[in-house]
Chains A and B, each alone.
Chain A
Amino acid sequence: MEILSQLLSPMNLLFMNIGVCTGIMIGVMPGLGTNFAITVLLTLAFGLDKYASIFLLLGAYCGSMYGGSMTAILINTPGTTNSVATVFDGYPLARQGKAGLALGVALLSSTIGGIVSACALLFFAPQLAKIVNVIASPEYFCLCICGLIAAVSIARDRKIKGIISAAIGLLVACVGLDPAFGSKRLLFGIPRLMSGLRVATCMLGAYALCTVLWMSREAYENRNKGKTELIEFKKINFVEVCRSTLKYKRTLIRSSIFGIVIGAIPGTGGAISAMLSYNEARRASKNPDEFGKGCIEGVVAAECGNNAVTGATLIPMLTMGIPGDSAMAILLGALTMQGIIPGPALFSQGSIWVYVIMGGLILVNIFMFLQGAVLIRLFANISKIPQMIMIPCIIVVCCMGAFAMSNSTFEIAVMLFFGGLGFIMKTFGFPIPPMTIAMVLGALCETNLRRSLILSKDNWAIFVTRPVSIIILLISLLMLFLPQIKLAVEKLLRRN
């Protein structure tokens, strides 16, 4: 009853909608992705009621995942990486005068994928939490390492830089007081750092401010360019949209499963899921030649696949406290800010939190559909907003948000530091997600390493002698070296 009352409270519903709306708007703008949407809204989240703030961020997460598909269909430019596969058939459909149909199909498929994923979260998360509840510190430490390696493996061909980035993130997590002995660590003469760094402020700098700095050059170079031209579309006929989408039930089921499985694996994400779903739909189709030329099934597969990760990515985050990707790391930071520590205890202590989040995710997807259906033309026009206007607005919002986190300008200084650091890292090709994920995992990682070593009397072999931890470590190594293993296998096969 309490869960329902929280879910249906007018304030929570309002913030869910604000989150979805802002998320779609940010997703529509090329160059600004899911991480940006969540970090920018994080500035508002701190002052809200804890449920409203999480719904706001969940709305932004799902909305931005879907938002990218609009520009993919209308201007052949995916708003986010998750919508790359949507371009293949979405844009040709728009060129054929079926932009409205493509947008409608993308919206409905995204909603279906999102709802199926939220249901999977509702079903699988409590089961997984029961298993996680019985694992000990060495396994937990290995899980943290697995999460870090997953973050590094996102970096693909920049793994060394990814590892260094993760190590920097772990160091950032060390700033403040030591959890066991209370001694000062890495304060560099700044007493304000005694209470540690707020992950939310660091992320605001590393994602939002860094994006603005990166965007400023682009805005300067494009200052004389005209407005973005959109392909015009007529009013969407939702009967036709439903008929066209539900015709591909198998593709919807398959893409949802792909999304759930891929989303639950740390270090993956919507882009991989969308691409795999698209390829699988083409492989299984009776008319594979139609793909890439304006095939509705292609849009269904890609959009259902990318939004089906939204609920699944929450599974490792809620059950183990390990964020699968950078968006989850930001959400985890927001949860911690509200005093909620995700992990198996959240389930075993009978907290209504997790169930409110799960139910909220289903509602968010429904609102995403309703907003998309009513405001699609408005959202599409958002992509016409010049970057030049966005830059000062984002800077001001970021500074206000950072200030509001503790009513102090010190937070703005921290944000500036991480904005600069993020920009330098990006300039030198160091990926930012491993650093932010490590910032979140740092404390958990250190505590469990300490406990494990006490348990084993300083024997580091504890991590390779326990069956579960060795399995987790092997999976981590496999994740790290998968491309090399794949290459070696391909070479071997070619030789034979």
Chain B
Amino acid sequence: MKHHRGQDSLPSGAIGCMTMKNRKYLKDISAYLFLLVVTAYMWTVGIEKQIPIPKVARDQSFKPSTFPRLCFLAIGMFSLLGIVISLMKMTGSRTQEVQNEEEEKRPLGLAPFIPYLTFAAIIIYYILFQHLGWIISTMFCIPLFLLILRCRKISYYLISYAFCAAMYLLFVFVLKVNLP
């Protein structure tokens, strides 16, 4: 393991905290970079493609694309500012930081992926909703949502079905919505 100057004087918690911070800054920088790339594309090509200017508006100073351009300009400028600030903070903390090669303890298991799995299940629900209608898609997807959460209690499945049935009655008979 590599040891840097000053590591001995720093408690292990502080080291962990600093690497955590750097990871946060890296995460921020990647988000800002992504926004910057999108902005650059939109500014140069995207806006022209997405906002055709009609003849009557060509000689106007405030064209239909002016306001969106200003918004992209704000996103681009502040992303750039965000990158600079994050880099400054990162290098600031690196002056005392130690490269801790030991990986921090990460939460094991499926937990970090559960929101993504849930989102995927909602997309499946949406597709089934479109093609098979509300009743079949809901009957199929409620167990799917609960299985993703590793629910083993039958009562939870029954309660969810009962709640959805009540909602169906409310939407169809009270609010007069034509559910597919």
Contact = CB atoms under 8 A, between A and B. Distances in A.
Interface of A: 44, 47-48, 160-161, 163-164, 167-168, 170-171, 174, 178, 180-188, 209, 212-214, 216-217, 219-221, 223, 386, 388-389, 391-393, 395-397, 399-400, 403-404, 407, 409, 412-413, 416, 419-420, 423, 428-430, 445-446, 449-450, 453-454, 458
B159 A389 contact: yes
A167 B177 contact: no
Contact of B160 (A182, A219, A393, A430): A393
B62 A164 contact: no
B149 A216 contact: yes
Given A47-B177, A220-B114, A407-B178, A399 B125 contact: yes
Given A212-B118, A393-B164, A429 B28 contact: yes
A220 B67 contact: no
Given A164-B74, A184-B52, A409 B115 contact: no
Interface of B: 24, 27-28, 31, 35, 50-54, 56-57, 61-65, 67-68, 71-72, 74-75, 78-79, 81-82, 85, 110-112, 114-115, 118-119, 122-123, 125-126, 129-130, 134, 138, 141-142, 145-146, 148-151, 156, 159-160, 163-164, 167-168, 170-171, 175-180
A400 B50 contact: no
Nearest to A428: B31
A428 B86 CA distance: 13
B82 A388 contact: no
A219 B160 CA distance: 15
Most buried by B among A182, A220, A223: A220
B160 A409 contact: no
A183 B164 contact: no
Contacts of B50: 184-188
Contacts of A388: 146, 149, 151, 156
Nearest to B49: A188
A187 to B, nearest CB: 7
Given A217-B115, A395-B122, A446-B67, A400 B134 contact: yes
A404 B177 contact: yes
Contacts of B159: 389
A-B pairs, 5 with minimum CB distance: A47-B175, A178-B64, A392-B145, A167-B74, A213-B115
A181 B52 CA distance: 11
A170 B115 contact: no
Contacts, number: 181
A183 B53 contact: yes
A397 to B, nearest CB: 6
A404 B171 contact: yes
A164 B79 contact: yes
A44 B171 CA distance: 8
Contacts of A181: 54, 56-57, 63-64
Contact of A409 (B65, B130, B141, B176): B130
A164 B78 contact: yes
15 contacts: A47-B175, A160-B82, A164-B78, A167-B78, A220-B111, A386-B156, A389-B156, A392-B141, A392-B142, A393-B160, A400-B179, A403-B179, A412-B129, A416-B119, A454-B62
A217 B171 contact: no
A395 B138 CA distance: 10
Nearest to A397: B167
Nearest to B47: A186
Nearest to B56: A181
Contacts of B163: 389, 393, 396
B149 A219 contact: yes
A223 B153 CA distance: 10
Contact of B142 (A161, A168, A185, A396): A396
B149 A220 contact: yes
Contacts of B160: 389, 392-393
B28 to A, nearest CB: 7
Given A164-B78, A217-B111, A428-B28, 15 more contacts: A47-B176, A164-B35, A167-B78, A171-B75, A184-B52, A185-B50, A185-B65, A187-B50, A388-B151, A403-B177, A416-B126, A419-B119, A423-B115, A428-B31, A429-B28
Contacts of B75: 164, 167-168, 171
Contact of A170 (B24, B62, B67, B167): B67
Contacts of A446: 67
Nearest to A405: B177
Most buried by B among A217, A449, A453, A458: A217
Contact of B78 (A163, A391, A397, A409): A163
Contacts of A453: 61-62
Contacts of B141: 392, 395-396
A396 B111 contact: no
B155 to A, nearest CB: 9
Nearest to B159: A389
A417 to B, nearest CB: 11
B118 A180 contact: no
Given A164-B78, A400-B177, A450-B62, A409 B145 contact: no
A223 B152 CA distance: 9
A449 B67 contact: yes
A185 B64 contact: yes
B171 A400 contact: yes
A183 B51 contact: yes
A180 B64 contact: yes
A167 B71 contact: yes
Contacts of A407: 177-178
A220 B110 contact: yes
B134 A183 contact: no
Contacts of B149: 216, 219-220, 223, 388, 391
Contacts of A212: 118
Contact of A183 (B57, B115, B150): B57
Contacts of B54: 181-183
Contact of B52 (A163, A183, A404, A428): A183
Contacts of A167: 71-72, 74-75, 78
